[in-house]
Each structure stands twice: as structure tokens, then as C-alpha cells.
Copies of this chain bind each other. A is one copy, B any other.
Amino acid sequence: MKVCKFGGTSVASAEQIKKVAAIVGEDTKRKIVVVSAPGKRFNDDIKVTDLLIKLAEASLSTGETEKELQAVVDRYADIAKGLGLDEHIVNIIEEDLRGRLTINRDNRDLFVDQLKASGEDNNAKLIAAYFSSIGMEAEYVNPKEAGLIVSDEPGRARALPEAYENLSNLRDRKGIVVFPGFFGYSRDGVMMTFARGGSDITGSILAAAVNAELYENFTDVDSVFAANPKVVDSPVEIKRMTYREMRELSYAGFSVFHDEALMPAFQRSVPVCIKNTNNPSAEGTMIVAEREYSKSPVIGIAADGGFSTIYVSKYLMNRELGFGRRLLQILEDEYISYEHTPSGIDDLSVIVRSHQLTPEKEARIISRCREELLVDDVYVEHHFAMVVLVGEGMHNTRGLTARATTAISRVGANIEMINQGSSEVSLVFGIQEKDTESVLKELYKEFFSTSAVLGV
């Protein structure tokens, strides 16, 4: 049995949904289909989820909602018409939305969440109706009925153990199950949404629960690439990578999808395949527990800008027990999380994402370093980038670090920071933001010099 999840762009229009039906229909193992809300049909389009947020806000502010409500209904109507479905399903959806608008709005966030989740919920109903209309045996299944019980954490709910037990029963359903992504229900029966990437999370929970042989994540790219295609021309496609490698690449924003969403699948060792709705016959990228890496020790390279460094120095710092911990506490008091802390004998740097800093926070940090830590020097620098080299082979293959550092110096970039030693699967370089593109290109050339497809 396979579980498939279709993202927003894959279910944004009638045309796309017909492709989905074809994909599901051609493989009888595709028994559970998780869908998102209709996404963007073209670049400047608005996702239905965003239309629902506007509807919620209109309701909470002025109470005047007809315009925003119609905007949502029209999208579904458009899809239904293109799929040859009659008005019935659109009426059901409109009634559902009007019902949600009358819900208790004392808890503002819950009110908004209920409306957001209707995007997935109603699209699942519509898609199930379409499947049935073309003769596929299919049914919409509601998460509450199916027992997708989650923790009481709105906007970041987690599936509870009983959810897996309940959902395993989906194996016994006769036809295709069409399941809305993004939300579950707390033990008290209150609807709870997942964090971003919600439909991915639903998909992997279901895949784990039914012990699927494969979890197929349908999106709008053929595969995960070894480097950002916007920077590197025609980067190789990754055919096979491990969970760990996916996780490390996501660090620098390798955002094909949200890797944390895959955790339930990872934990049950369900293989995941990234596929393209618009090119379903392409192999895609398999994400698995382990892979043979001797031929391709490095699987991908990712880079992300927007980092800053807080540098402190104090003579005999290394003799002051607790110095580093106290510096981290100062940052924690400002709700700043850190990425790396290279340290010397008399100095320490903390690398953080720049967006967490404001001029006021910087000033407070600097002042507390002076007054409480009695540092000799403290300053903050911006405009750094982190480049991460990822691969299961990195720990064992000598010379990789040497090749990487040589490549970086070839393009004249200065290495501001190196972090190696904790993860066995990645190596992080800090460079100046201005060098990001040239470094990424050169590292790609160094490690992927043929266009041979990787990771057999």
C-alpha cells in the first residue's frame, strides 16, 4: 500500500486534479491520498489558504464577509466546473464555510485555524467526489472520524500514540481514501492544525500508521537537486538520499518541502519519494534510512545568507568556568537561538540568524557583555552566509574537507568559520554573503563535476 500526498499546486485547478486522478488511478497500490488546499495556479495567484485567512480576518474585524466568502467559493466552483461536477458539492462547501463563520470567536487563533483548515477539508471532499464521478471507488475520510488524535498545541500539534493505532484501520477501507492534510483533533475533540507543511505531516503520519511500503510526496519539481537550480545551471538530480542528509540540507533552506514533516515516516522507516505531479513518470528522489555512499559521498550543497556574528574576547576567558554559558544565557534572554559557537582560547563567536536581531537587542547584548561578562572587546558583524556540504560519506572519506576548502579559496572567498565535528553528515562553512554564489558554484563543480545522475 502506498500513501500519496499532493501539495497545493498539484490540486490548484481542475487540470491539475485530473492529473492527480490519473496518477492515483495508474497504480492500484495508491490507496491513501492526502490533499492540500488549492494552491497557486500561476505565479501571482493567491492560495485558497490565504483567501481563507482574509475571510477570517474580515469576520473578526467588520463582520462583513460576503465578498471574501464568495472569493473562496468561486475557487471551488471553478474547479468543480472544470471537473464536470454539478453544483451540489459547491453548495456543501459553501454551507460548511458559513457554518464555520458562526463558530465561537472568543479564541481568535482557533477561529482562524478552523477557517484555514477548511481549505484542505473541502478540497478533499471535492476530490473524493471527482474520483467517484469517474468511476474510481473513493471516499472522503474526516480526520476526526478516523481518529487522528493530536496534542493540545494549536498551530504545532503532534500526533499522539493512539492516532497511529486508530489510523492503522484505514488499511481495511475498500476504496481509495481521500484525506485532508493539515489538521487533527485533540482528545477533547477540538480541531488542531499542524505547523507549516501540514499536509506533509498528515501524509507521513498516515504512511507510518498503515506501515505503507512507500510515501509519495507529489510536488512541482522532478526531484531534489544537489544544489539550488537558481544558482547552479542544471544541477544533478538526487536519486537517492538518506533522512539525515535531507535534514541537514534543510538547514540552509533546501525547501522542497518541510523535512520535519517526514519524521513520522522516518521513525517507522517508511521510504519517501519526492515526485512531480506534472511529470509523474520521472523517478523522483527517494529518501531512505541508509544508502550506499562510496561513489557519491557528498549528496548536496546548500547555502543561506542572513547570518550575523557576535564576537567577544576576554583575556583568560578559557579559565573562567561558565563564561560561555553566561553568554548564551544573555542571548536566550533575548529569545535569540544560535547556530554555531566557534571558540578560541580568549575569544568566542556566536553565529545567529540576522533576522532575530534588532538594533535595540544588539545594544543590550553588547552592554550586558561589557557589564556582566567584563569582556575586553565585543562587536556584532552582519552579512554572513552559511554553506553546508552534506553527505553520508563525509565522515569517512578523507580529503573532502581539503577539497572543499581548496575550492573556496580558488574563488577568492575568505573562510570566516568552519564547523565540523558534531554531525557526521555535514560540514558548514561561514563565508561573506557576497561570496555565496561563487562559492556554491565552485563547490558544485568540485563535487559534482559530471552530470551523471547521483546515488544509485
Chain A residues within 8 Å of B, Cβ to Cβ: 247-248, 250-251, 260, 263, 309, 311, 315-316, 318-319, 321-322, 324-325, 328-329, 332, 335, 337-349, 351, 395-396, 398-399, 401-402, 405-406, 408-409, 412-423, 425-426, 428, 430
User: Please, how many angstroms separate the alpha-carbon atoms of A439 and B109 in the complex?
Assistant: 59
State the oligomeric state as a number of copies. Answer: 2
Q: What 10 pairs between A and B have smallest CB-CB spacing?
A: A417-B421, A344-B423, A342-B421, A402-B405, A402-B406, A325-B328, A398-B409, A399-B409, A344-B422, A342-B422
Residues of B within 8 A of A335 (CB): 321
Please determine whether B420 and A417 come into contact, CB atoms closer than 8 angstroms: yes
Interface centre among A309, A398, A399, A425 (most CB of B within 10 A): A398
Partner of A421, one of B247, B329, B346, B418: B418
User: Please, how many angstroms separate the alpha-carbon atoms of A413 and B398 in the complex?
Assistant: 8
Please determine whether B347 and A311 come into contact, CB atoms closer than 8 angstroms: no
Known contacts A321-B332, A321-B337, A332-B321; decide if A345 and B251 are in contact (CB<8 Å): yes
Residues of B within 8 A of A416 (CB): 421
Residues of B within 8 A of A347 (CB): 422-423
User: Please, how many angstroms separate the alpha-carbon atoms of A337 and B415 in the complex?
Assistant: 28
Known contacts A319-B337, A332-B322; decide if A414 and B402 are in contact (CB<8 Å): no
Please determine whether A406 and B415 come into contact, CB atoms closer than 8 angstroms: no
Please determine whether A419 and B342 come into contact, CB atoms closer than 8 angstroms: yes
Please determine whether A337 and B349 come into contact, CB atoms closer than 8 angstroms: no
Known contacts A316-B260, A343-B341, A405-B401; decide if A422 and B311 are in contact (CB<8 Å): yes
User: Please, how many angstroms separate the alpha-carbon atoms of A401 and B407 in the complex?
Assistant: 11
Known contacts A348-B422, A398-B412, A406-B402; decide if A318 and B343 are in contact (CB<8 Å): no
Residues of B within 8 A of A396 (CB): 414
User: Please, how many angstroms separate the alpha-carbon atoms of A405 and B409 in the complex?
Assistant: 13
User: Please, how many angstroms separate the alpha-carbon atoms of A339 and B401 in the complex?
Assistant: 22
Known contacts A401-B418, A402-B405, A416-B421; decide if A248 and B339 are in contact (CB<8 Å): no
Min CB–CB distance A387 → chain B (angstroms): 13
Min CB–CB distance A202 → chain B (angstroms): 18
Min CB–CB distance A298 → chain B (angstroms): 15
Please determine whether A419 and B343 come into contact, CB atoms closer than 8 angstroms: yes
Min CB–CB distance A395 → chain B (angstroms): 8
Min CB–CB distance A17 → chain B (angstroms): 34
Min CB–CB distance A422 → chain B (angstroms): 4
Known contacts A340-B343, A402-B402; decide if A420 and B422 are in contact (CB<8 Å): no
Min CB–CB distance A172 → chain B (angstroms): 31
Min CB–CB distance A59 → chain B (angstroms): 32
Partner of A420, one of B309, B348, B415, B426: B415
Known contacts A315-B263, A324-B328, A337-B318; decide if A409 and B402 are in contact (CB<8 Å): yes
Min CB–CB distance A263 → chain B (angstroms): 7
Residues of B within 8 A of A414 (CB): 395-396, 398
Residues of B within 8 A of A319 (CB): 337
Known contacts A402-B409, A417-B420; decide if A325 and B329 are in contact (CB<8 Å): yes
